[in-house]
Structure 1
């Protein structure tokens, strides 16, 4: 009896069977006006019930084994397409039609996720799909529901697997791998994220080598030339062990969304990738976040485990609606970062007045460190600027959009007046532009 109750709880009527049943009911109604159809209706009813019983026996009673599992990454990469696979093993002696309904984490807001496939007898198959998280944190999966139907497709049996799985979502480590390979490849200069190493006296001595056409004659080593009886030159490389800090503004200005991600998330992803490039360039990477106070301070370093410290610090960083305190940022940097360093400040200024309120603190930071302010273009305004205006209201909107876009360029000029470097970028180009600026600074030897 318990087994029968269990079967009844897991049995479902397919749409095909439902339509057949409704057709028979219609036939019974019509037979009220045409009595000769009554016997036909009963005959079809008996046939229908017979096939339903046969389908029930095939799915529930016959010897079989049916297995399924959900395979997810150990952690999701925020803002990227992450692969998820559902593996199915059909142990029935006949091909089955399966419908997969996976209860995805609520963050995806997906309520009609279904996959359909026919699996041959004794075979296995895999359903592959991608999930793109836009928030960091824990993603809890629900039940993996598999509805199995025989070739008759009248009834279906539900199997439940993989309940309660949890996958944490971290800052974009997929971008970290992608840009790391590109930044250190010898063949990808055309991507614009690698600067050719400059030879010059502002950099650390690397080695003495034979002169070749194109070498700077100012680097000729006359003592080595006399010993070797051929021209020898000194070769220099970028200075190493320089400290680079990423300062992330997590105030209200970083709450603005773009393609599902907030500006804060873009800054976090960029920080993770840039930190990896910095450590592989033999420099020291550190970070901090700030709003009303400075938090998540990680001292600059390049030892084993530094990237893990930065990633764990970025995992739980969330924005808030407070006005960021740049005065507190200036005080903390002056107190805790005593060596001259490169400070990459991720923030956002929409107006020149907004910059001028914080300019005294930025100038104070720039007195002791090399400061690069990274802020964002408003891509929605760009769309409005390039849109054709058809009426007075649209003309007015376009003029206002152009005014705000112009103020962004004024901000760049204002920062340049005080020797503060800046990067004005679109959110989707943030990572590559940040790497470019770091490599440019290293190539110019201005840190």
Structure 2
């Protein structure tokens, strides 16, 4: 497509100005004809010269991984094989699930030279997306025209959940620094754990820890020290139903859940446990429990494009499917957004899972409801809203109490605290030897 450039408008203005003068001074008519003929010739010749693509080669270089909320740079590599310099405007057709800064790109490229302009993007959603093409606008030799044309340059990108927390945990993952994340890790010394080492008796050690044979040989009290058990299975049972679309701030409950799940998986894998995943509520995915840090990549690839659906969760079906798929006793972490009307379906499902597994229910509490109770009441409508909110929270609390009465471990936390609370409870379970 050919578009007029600024110099074309200058030339049009000159022709119009002279045409106005001709109406007052007919003697200038020949001059106007000459100017008009020259202008038409220049437009025609320059337009024809603008049509070729001038041997321009373009590549797009994308980062290997993108994550939600983290800004990344996109680099374009241009190679000019033509014989005359180019003046270009580049626009990249990025997916609507990202925000871009720095477009369009303006650059001049001498003949036979390279250029590597960059712009930045901010991913807003997870999933697999396409950069379909580039739009190039090149100026003609006399700068009267722009030649605007697309270049097919398809690039596929995967946008993952924000795993910056995992990087932060990696940097802080020592016994002296875990508290920076609010995670308290203490080695439990006692029975019911894997044997770690022998050491001198310390005040506070139980008599059952004393190794009497070693004490007799060493002529002093020697205690057995135990460490957290390893080789256990952790299975996440993830609700993908419509309630997980609730939002507190920029992220939905579902995105908070994925971030917590990734961090928790990293911690469990570092502890030597195997981690697996099952989803329900409109999307059914199954990832068997596996050990090793490579499993974290498998979990990322299984989750990055997962989105909550409009369906209601079926807890009973999810429990039955999990019992079929995973036979070994495991810590099953059910993450959902609990409602009072869930009792009839949820309790039988929990009882079914508890026959074989240790069960932890993590339910996210909506901050908007807590904030509603703190707002001042000045009108009848506001009083009714607060009363309805209070009644709803009471029913929800009653549901949680009924769940706890079955012997199921429970967490009821705001989405922003899910990661820390989940890891702390997991470490407590490891220390207690309950699994």
CA distance, structure 2, for counterparts of residue 21 and residue 399 of structure 1: 73
CA 1:152–1:258 in 2, change beyond 3 Å: closer, same or farther?
farther
| CA distance in 2: counterparts of 1:435 and 1:13, whole angstroms | 62
Corresponding residue to 1:281 among 271, 277, 280: 271
User: How much does 1:166 deviate?
Assistant: 2.0
Instruction: Return 5+ residue gaps in structure 2 as ranges.
Output: none
Residue in structure 2 matched with residue 163 of structure 1 by the alignment: 153
Normalising to structure 1: TM-score of the pair? 0.75
C-alpha contact 2:77 2:114 (8 A) present in aligned 1: no
Does structure 1 retain, via aligned residues, the 8 Å contact 2:61–2:75?
A: yes
Larger mean CA deviation between 141-150 and 398-407 belongs to 398-407
Aligned to 2:291: 302
Asked whether the 8 Å contact 1:65–1:92 carries over to 2, the reply is yes
Residue in 2 that maps onto 1:4: none
1:13 aligns with 2:4: yes
Larger mean CA deviation between 16-25 and 235-244 belongs to: 16-25
Q: Determine whether 1:330 maps to 2:322.
A: no
Alignment of 1:171-320 (within 5 A): 171-172=160-161, 174-175=163-164, 177-178=166-167, 181-182=170-171, 184-186=173-175, 187-210=177-200, 216=205, 218=207, 219-229=209-219, 231-256=221-246, 263-291=253-281, 295-302=284-291, 306-307=295-296, 309-314=298-303, 317=306, 319-320=308-309
Match of 1:132 in 2: 123
1:121-173 deviation digits (Å, cap 9, x = unpaired)? 5563431312414242x31221112334589865434465452222244x427
Looking at structure 1, the residues matched to 416 and 16 of structure 2 have their Cα atoms a distance apart, in angstroms, of 58
TM-score, normalisation: structure 2: 0.77
Distance 1:216 1:153 in 2: 87
Question: Cα gap change, 1:148/1:341 in structure 2, threshold over 3 Å: closer, same or farther?
Answer: same
Distance in 1 (CA, whole Å) between partners of 2:27 and 2:236 is: 81
Q: Tell me if structure 2 keeps the 8 A contact 1:248–1:346.
A: yes
Tell me the CA shift for residue 177 of structure 1.
4.1
String of CA shifts for 1:350-388, please: whole Å, max 9, x gaps.
3x2334552233244335432111222224445545555
**1:345 to 2:334 alignment:** yes
Contact 1:183 1:277 in 2 (8 A): no
Report the Cα distance in structure 1 between the residues aligned to 2:12 and 2:380, rounded to whole angstroms: 58
Q: Deviations over 1:402-444 (max 9, x none)?
A: 5445555444444333332222333344444433332232234
Tell me the secondary structure at the aligned position of residue 189 of structure 2.
coil
Distance 2:432 2:24 in 1: 95
- Between 404-413 and 53-62, report the one with greater CA deviation: 53-62
Q: Is the 2:74–2:120 contact (alpha carbons within 8 Å) kept by the matching residues of 1?
A: yes
**Compared CA separation, residues 316 and 130, structure 1 to 2 (3 A):** closer
How far is 1:340 from its partner? 3.1
Preserved contact between residue 377 and residue 408 of structure 1 (Cα < 8 Å): no
How many residue pairs get aligned? The number is: 430
- The corresponding residue for 1:442 is 430
Partners of 1:443 and 1:19 lie apart in 2 by: 78
Deviation at 1:41, TM superposition (A): 8.0
Q: Which residue of 2 aligns with 1:116?
A: 105
Q: For structure 1, list consecutive stretches of 5 or more residues without a partner in the other structure.
A: 1-8
Between the aligned partners of 1:382 and 1:47, the Cα distance in structure 2 is: 76
Task: Determine the C-alpha separation between the residues in 2 that align with 1:88 and 1:373.
Answer: 54
SS at match of 1:104: coil
CA RMSD in angstroms comes to 4.4
